[in-house]
Amino acid sequence: MGRAPCCDKANVKKGPWSPEEDAELKSYIEQHGTGGNWIALPQKMGLKRCGKSCRLRWLNYLRPNIKHGGFSEEEDKIICSLYISIGSRWSIIAAQLPGRTDNDIKNYWNTRLKKKLLGKQRKEQHARRNSSSQTKQEMLMRKGMMRENINNQMVSSSSSSSSDHNSIINQNPFWPHDEQLPVLPPIPYSNQEPSFNDHAYFRKLLIKLGGKFSDNDDQQTNGVIPEINNLDQYSLDDLMMYHQQQQISMISAADPVDVLNSTSTLAETKYNMDGNGIDVSTLQGPSSFEAELIEQMMYNDPQKLDGLEFLCGGNSDWGEMNSLILPPVVNSNYVEGLQQGMLQECAFDQLRYLEP
């Protein structure tokens, strides 16, 4: 049984908004506000539009201070960084770009930015293939950095002890056995337990952080990202806070290479963090963009994927892979950390190309 429609579809107009409709809606909202009920709004003002459509039109076009087009390099970087870190949470990304809407950013990403990044990545691949400058030593160094990044990104759930991690590694046939246990980064302060699927929470958090990516805005820490070393002491709120601080530091860094080297972001804190072990049903595979990055990495620099075969090893069904490779005690963060570690490295490589 389907859900009841929010409006009478037969009696509402669809398609592009006319200037008259725009003017009518804008004028009504400016005079009366939305009344807290978008569904009722078009009826009140006698507009033959779905309430949701009115909401979208207002939010994306009619409300004041909306910017369209003309994304700056800085905005590109912010979008890329946040996409890498939190994925396609367009509303959260939009919250960091004043005057931009989630729809705008989403379109911009899908139509231009994604292609821009992949195009440049391909060029670089081509250049690398034609160049013999990359020595085996360099490759090994990169591999080492990669593993270090991954180690830094590991996080334990409150219920998983270090022996759990050993058990995870032992149970996972793909986990590189010569690796040490993940270093669990400690987090500075504590607060209540948020839901990581809670966009409103995340948005509040971002606003709390000043809504800008700037060193000066980080009042809570006076611009200093604290070191962490005892994860269990900290709540998810703390993890999120830490993550955001990392983001601030990352985005405001002058040199994207420094960004890459300085960030062991807690990407694993992005969502699905329930602290009670893995929830396979909520695990997301890589987006097609991420999948393409993985594919390119396999082609271009397979050593990067050493130990991470499960991310791409011949099995195209992500859900199926998860069920095969994940022991039940593994927190989803653990896996996402792995995914993020690799994707971040690859994507930060690409971020460099955005430098003028």
Partner DNA sequence: AACCCGCACAACCGCCCCGGA
Partner DNA sequence: GTCCGGGGCGGTTGTGCGGGT
Tokens of 90: 């367009």
Closer CB to DNA, 29 or 139, in the complex: 29
Q: Are 346 and 301 in contact (CB under 8 A)?
A: no
Q: What is the DSSP string of 183-217?
A: P----S-------TT-HHHHHHHHHHTTSS--GGG
| Listed residue (173, 122, 169) closest to 150, CA to CA | 169
Q: Give the CA-trace dihedral at 249, 255, 260, 265, to 10 degrees.
A: 10
CA distance 236 to 199: 14
Beta carbon of residue 255, minimum distance to DNA (angstroms, whole number)? 28
Q: Nearest approach, Cβ of 339 to DNA (angstroms)?
A: 15
Residue (264 or 332) nearer to DNA, CB:
332
Do 293 and 346 touch, CB atoms closer than 8 A? yes
Contact 99, 332 (CB under 8 A): no
Q: How far apart are CA 121 and CA 347, in angstroms?
A: 9
Shortest Å, Cβ 199 to DNA = 5
38 or 175: whose CB is closer to DNA?
Answer: 38
d(CA 174, CA 170): 9
Nearest residue (CB) to DNA, 107 versus 162? 107
Report how far residue 249's alpha carbon sits from residue 120's, in angstroms, rounded to the nearest whole number: 25
Residue 355 token pair: 């430098």
Q: CB 26 → DNA: shortest distance, Å?
A: 12
CB 269, min distance to DNA, A: 16
In whole angstroms, the minimum distance from the beta carbon of 182 to DNA comes to 28
The residue (of 89 and 304) whose beta carbon lies closer to DNA is: 89
CB of 42 to DNA, least distance (A): 10
Minimum distance from CB of 16 to DNA (Å)? Answer: 4
Smallest distance, Å, CB 274 to DNA?
Answer: 12
Q: Rank residues 112 and 128 by Cβ distance to DNA and give the closer one.
A: 112
Closest CA to 296 of 345, 329, 334, 250: 345
Closer CB to DNA, 89 or 243, in the complex = 89
End-to-end CA distance of the chain: 54
Query: Which residue reads 């290479």 in tokens?
Result: 257
Instruction: For DNA, give the closer residue by CB, 91 or 220.
Output: 91
Interface residues with DNA (CB under 7 A) are: 2-4, 6, 9, 13-17, 34, 36-40, 49-53, 55-57, 60-61, 68-69, 88-92, 102-104, 106-108, 110-112, 115, 195, 197-200, 203, 287
Contact 297/346 with Cβ under 8 angstroms?
Answer: yes
Phi, psi for residue 264 in degrees, rounded to 5 = -110, 65
Q: Toward DNA, which CB reaches closer, 107 or 230?
A: 107
**Whole-Å CA distances, 193 to 154, 201, 265:** 20, 10, 20
Tell me the C-alpha to C-alpha distance, in Å, between residue 259 and each of 129, 238, 282. 26, 22, 30
